[in-house]
A and B are shown apart, each in its own frame.
Chain A
Amino acid sequence: MAKITFDGIEVEVPDGTTILNAARQIGGSIVPPAMCYYTPLKGSGGKCRACLVRVAAGSAKDPRPMPKLVASCVTPVQDGMVVENTTNPQVLDVRKGIVEMLLINHPLDCPVCDQAGECDLQNFAFEHGVSTTRYQEERRTFEKIDIGPLIQLHMTRCILCYRCVYTADQIVKGDRNHGVLGRGDAAEIGTYIENIIDDDFSGNVIDVCPVGALTDKTFRFKSRVWFTKPVNAHRDCPKCSGNVVLWYKGNDVLRTTARKDQYGEVKEWICNECRFEKKETADWTIEGPAHIDRSSVISANHYELPVLNQSVVADLPASTQRDLEKNPPLKLGN
């Protein structure tokens, strides 16, 4: 075990834990932002530099500070380490710079982007960015690419976090079929990604994308996310756990996603059949409202206990209705 001090708060974590995960054990607003790191994806992290922190003391054995800021998501803790995040002005200043860099080529088209309301970059910019940019040059643009009939890639919004690359490499079966072409600011997610369309788990690239670059074509432009109601549901699925979140608008399931934790990381990968094909309430056993963080824009219309329309319940299978009766947190409305 290693004991570290993070922004003045002591925490003890197992050896090998990264600084970011140690901070997540403390929780709250001191946790560094992460745009590229994604716990379920091996090898992710270190790229966006959003989570840079200052290590004021390397360890009890060697208390010298680290010369540069380090990426907290890939740097393991050492016993006696002292880390400064929100308490260090240099870190906060650098974060402003990172937001500015990430927004150079990312269009601010939140009003039309499907990711609005659940966009990591939007949150990151809101918390750490400034309201203006000093960039005057022309932005890069791309044509949209269809990755089969269900997924669309719009590189214009991509911030090259590599999460989808790792997803395609690690959870999509078969040969390596996804990567990055070009280099520098001309880099782009390779169109070879189209080869993943036949895989049952390809839809997960949508869930891991922190911005609106990879979108669900069955959901695109159907609704703003804050007009929908997330409900936990499950079904017997031979391919995946079948544990999902259904996003309702009225009686319609507009979208199905994997369940995510408070840091937006998928808890269990779901298959394409659950994600794209099961859009009827009758396909699912409803568990209850999905927890939405109070600070999230998604919670604007439905706070801790969203009201599920009574008419929806009437359409539910008998087993689900029995489950609902046993689950008092769900309020039923008209």
Chain B
Amino acid sequence: MGRKLLTEHINVEGIDTLEVYRKHGGYRSVEKALKTMTPDEVVEEVKKSGLRGRGGAGFPTGMKWSFLAKPEGVPRYLVCNADESEPGTFKDRQLMSKLPHLLIEGMITGSYALGANTSYIYIRGELLYVLRILEKAIAEAYAAGFLGKNILGSGYDLDLFVHPGGGAYICGEETALLESLEGKRGNPRNKPPFPAVQGLYARPTVVNNVESIAAVPVIVNEGGDEYAKIGVGRSTGTKLISACGHLNKPGIYEIELGLPVEEFIYSDEYCGGIWKGRDLKAVVAGGSSVPILPKELILKTAAGENRLMTYESLSDGGFVTGTMLGSGGFIAMDETTCIVRNTWNFSRFYHHESCGQCSPCREGTGWMEKVLHRLEHGHGHMEDIDLLVSVAKQIEGNTICPLGEAAAWPVAAAVRHFRHEFEWHVTHAKEAAQPGAVYRAEAVLA
């Protein structure tokens, strides 16, 4: 059994209340930090822990915190990015709805470390029920003196607000989130300046994912060094993985980073294998935006060893043979999955969610979707396959924000690893146009 640092008490009855949460050691990190540590010492612990951003990019959290500009007399902010909405990723909402006080505790400790007196949880608008849970928990924290003026007599003040977003995927991009939080249309900003210098209301701001912030109490309580002992290499600690697709036991699992992918898919402790006894065909390891990998590449590294669930090992070899841990949205596809249809489905999402601000993403995402629609519905041509790759290349790296890459990578990777399926859709147009058509090797051989 792997250690559970965040979700140890997640199934305890009433853990969403302050009383039960405190009985299980809740808010110890606030007491420890505010009474015995300086803000810089808290930052140092987070740096020592090696915690990397759990929202997808994997940037070291402690380093991000240390980049925060601290001009005299200027307010600064901690903003929690709870705008989780990538297909396949659904861990944060579970964490917030079951353990709201864990996030609040992390926000208080993190805000103290950063010297922020006002902090925000920007939550996806559709998660109204989670918003209500968080608001109730925040009210409890205010009543108990963990929020508000002079917290625990330390002289530190903090106000925490939950802000529901308008329900646009792009608002999960940190600068679009800040725009939206300021009451504007959620369009990403050009960088530089980075939020650490000019963020919310043009003030220094740190934006962290829910899971990253929820890890802070553990790090403060146990110490950064202890936290860093878990995991492999630069991938330390535990990670929540939201597993879905053709698995016997889809769900949200907390794993120690470094767990072999094979064990995660097939062991009874985790996903329990592929449903209906079918064979695994492909996996998207980190949410729909990361490159898809066929079974052979996701289960073994180039060296023939089990591919570990770490930031580094999944990206071994770059995108030619690798993928990303991303946000931990683990989507498994069995042998009956049509990769073309799946790619079209992902592409529809990114086309719909592109903000339209910069030309490659605005026009390119729609273009890819339309070409994939043609291929899926039996109207494609062989040259369309290279066209897809070319358009994806025109988008990748040339946009204001990473949504361009998020749209391009799945398409480029699908063609790279499953070109034969795209070709089959062209050569077997009639069959491909049937609902539920699936490429099978035997179909080609026959």
Question: Which residues of chain A have a CB within 8 Å of any CB of chain B?
Answer: 45-50, 52, 68-69, 71, 74-76, 94, 97-98, 100-102, 104-105, 134-135, 137, 159-160, 162, 179-180, 182-187
A selection of 23 A-B contacts at a CB cut-off of 8 Å is A46-B358, A46-B400, A49-B359, A49-B360, A49-B400, A52-B398, A69-B398, A97-B393, A98-B394, A100-B394, A101-B359, A101-B360, A101-B363, A135-B367, A160-B356, A180-B185, A182-B356, A183-B168, A183-B355, A185-B356, A185-B362, A186-B356, A187-B356
Q: Chain B interface secondary structure, helix, strand, loop or mixed?
A: helix
Q: A76-B192, A94-B394 are in contact. Are A185 and B360 (CB under 8 A)?
A: no
- Contact of B168 with A184 in the complex, beta carbons under 8 Å: no
Q: A76-B192, A159-B359 are in contact. Are A183 and B354 (CB under 8 A)?
A: yes
Compute how far the CA of A100 lies from the CA of B365 in the bound complex, rounded to whole angstroms. Answer: 13
Interface flag for B150 (CB, 8 Å): no
Q: A46-B190, A75-B192 are in contact. Are A184 and B399 (CB under 8 A)?
A: no
Q: A184-B356, A185-B354 are in contact. List 10 more A-B contacts (CB 8 A).
A: A46-B190, A47-B400, A104-B363, A105-B363, A182-B356, A183-B168, A183-B353, A183-B356, A184-B353, A187-B356
Tell me the minimal C-beta distance from A169 to chain B in angstroms.
11
Interface flag for B267 (CB, 8 Å): no
Q: A97-B394, A101-B364 are in contact. Are A184 and B359 (CB under 8 A)?
A: no
- Contact of A68 with B397 in the complex, beta carbons under 8 Å: yes
Residue of B366, B397, B398 touching A185 (CB-CB under 8 A): B366
Q: Which residue of A lies closest to B356 (CB)?
A: A187
- Contact of A184 with B360 in the complex, beta carbons under 8 Å: no
Interface flag for B351 (CB, 8 Å): yes
Q: How large is the interface on B (under 10, 10 to 19, 20 to 34, 35 or more residues)?
A: 20 to 34
Interface flag for B370 (CB, 8 Å): yes
Compute how far the CA of A63 lies from the CA of B363 in the bound complex, rounded to whole angstroms. Answer: 34
Interface flag for B94 (CB, 8 Å): no
Q: Give residues 378-412 of B contacting A (CB, 8 Å).
A: 387, 390, 393-394, 397-400
Residues of A within 8 A of B387 (CB): 134
Tell me the minimal C-beta distance from A309 to chain B in angstroms.
43
Q: A76-B192, A160-B362 are in contact. Are A184 and B352 (CB under 8 A)?
A: yes
Q: Give residues 314-366 of B contacting A (CB, 8 Å).
A: 351-360, 362-366
Most chain A CB inside 10 Å of its own CB: which residue of B358, B371, B397: B358
Residues of A within 8 A of B185 (CB): 179-180
Compute how far the CA of A2 lies from the CA of B390 in the bound complex, rounded to whole angstroms. Answer: 37
Q: A104-B363, A104-B367, A184-B366 are in contact. Are A49 and B398 (CB under 8 A)?
A: yes
Tell me the minimal C-beta distance from B66 to chain A in angstroms.
17
Tell me the minimal C-beta distance from B107 to chain A in angstroms.
30
- Contact of B190 with A184 in the complex, beta carbons under 8 Å: no
Compute how far the CA of A74 lies from the CA of B400 in the bound complex, rounded to whole angstroms. Answer: 11
Q: Which residue of A lies closest to B365 (CB)?
A: A184
Residues of B within 8 A of A68 (CB): 397-398
Shortest beta-carbon contacts, A-B, top 6:
A187-B356, A97-B394, A46-B190, A184-B354, A101-B363, A185-B366
Compute how far the CA of A135 lies from the CA of B398 in the bound complex, rounded to whole angstroms. Answer: 19
Q: Give residues 178-192 of B contacting A (CB, 8 Å).
A: 185, 190, 192
Question: Which residues of chain B have a CB within 8 Å of any CB of chain A?
Answer: 168, 170, 185, 190, 192, 351-360, 362-367, 370-371, 387, 390, 393-394, 397-400
Compute how far the CA of A225 lies from the CA of B371 in the bound complex, rounded to whole angstroms. Answer: 39
Compute how far the CA of A183 lies from the CA of B170 in the bound complex, rounded to whole angstroms. Answer: 10
Residue of B352, B354, B356 touching A180 (CB-CB under 8 A): B356
Q: A104-B363, A183-B354 are in contact. Are A71 and B394 (CB under 8 A)?
A: no
Q: Which residue of B lies closest to A74 (CB)?
A: B190
Tell me the minimal C-beta distance from B404 to chain A in angstroms.
10
Tell me the minimal C-beta distance from B103 to chain A in angstroms.
29
Residue of A45, A47, A74, A76 touching B359 (CB-CB under 8 A): A47
- Contact of A98 with B359 in the complex, beta carbons under 8 Å: yes
Compute how far the CA of A100 lies from the CA of B355 in the bound complex, rounded to whole angstroms. Answer: 19
Tell me the minimal C-beta distance from B202 to chain A in angstroms.
12
Tell me the minimal C-beta distance from A271 to chain B in angstroms.
29
Q: Which residue of B lies closest to A50 (CB)?
A: B359
Compute how far the CA of A204 lies from the CA of B192 in the bound complex, rounded to whole angstroms. Answer: 29
Q: Which residue of A lies closest to B363 (CB)?
A: A101
Residue of A97, A101, A184 touching B351 (CB-CB under 8 A): A184
Residue of B362, B371, B394, B397 touching A184 (CB-CB under 8 A): B362
Tell me the minimal C-beta distance from B394 to chain A in angstroms.
4
Compute how far the CA of A49 lies from the CA of B192 in the bound complex, rounded to whole angstroms. Answer: 15
- Contact of A97 with B398 in the complex, beta carbons under 8 Å: yes
Residues of A within 8 A of B360 (CB): 49, 97-98, 101
Residues of B within 8 A of A94 (CB): 394, 398
Tell me the minimal C-beta distance from A96 to chain B in angstroms.
9
Tell me the minimal C-beta distance from B221 to chain A in angstroms.
37
Tell me the minimal C-beta distance from B204 to chain A in angstroms.
18
Most chain B CB inside 10 Å of its own CB: which residue of A68, A75, A104, A183: A183
Q: A49-B358, A75-B192 are in contact. Are A185 and B394 (CB under 8 A)?
A: no
Q: Which residue of A lies closest to B168 (CB)?
A: A183
Compute how far the CA of A68 lies from the CA of B359 in the bound complex, rounded to whole angstroms. Answer: 16
Compute how far the CA of A84 lies from the CA of B403 in the bound complex, rounded to whole angstroms. Answer: 25
Compute how far the CA of A205 lies from the CA of B36 in the bound complex, rounded to whole angstroms. Answer: 59
- Contact of A47 with B366 in the complex, beta carbons under 8 Å: no
Compute how far the CA of A69 lies from the CA of B352 in the bound complex, rounded to whole angstroms. Answer: 25
Compute how far the CA of A69 lies from the CA of B360 in the bound complex, rounded to whole angstroms. Answer: 13
Tell me the minimal C-beta distance from B396 to chain A in angstroms.
9
Tell me the minimal C-beta distance from A184 to chain B in angstroms.
4
Compute how far the CA of A46 lies from the CA of B394 in the bound complex, rounded to whole angstroms. Answer: 16
Residues of A within 8 A of B371 (CB): 137
Compute how far the CA of A137 lies from the CA of B374 in the bound complex, rounded to whole angstroms. Answer: 10
- Contact of A48 with B358 in the complex, beta carbons under 8 Å: yes
Q: A47-B357, A184-B354 are in contact. Are A101 and B394 (CB under 8 A)?
A: yes
Q: Which residue of A lies closest to B393 (CB)?
A: A97
Tell me the minimal C-beta distance from B192 to chain A in angstroms.
7
